[in-house]
Amino acid sequence: MDTNQYKQLKERGDVLDFATLNATRRILTQRGQAYLADRITRILSNDKIDKPSLHNAPQERFSDLYRVSLAAEDVAGVVSILFDYETEVVDINPSAADLTDKWSNLNGLTKQ
Residue 32: pLDDT over 70:
yes
Kindly state the greatest CA–CA separation across the chain: 42
> 62 by DSSP, 3-state: which?
helix
At residue 74, the pLDDT reads 94
Residues 15-25 pLDDT 10s: 999 999 999 99
Distance CA 70, CA 89 (A): 26
Provide CB contacts within 8 A for 19, sequence distance 6+: 62
Give me the percent of the chain exceeding a pLDDT of 70.
79
Predicted TM-score of the model (pTM): 0.83
Lowest mean pLDDT among 63-72, 92-101, 102-111: 102-111
Q: State mean pLDDT over 56-80.
A: 82
Q: 52: which DSSP letter?
A: P
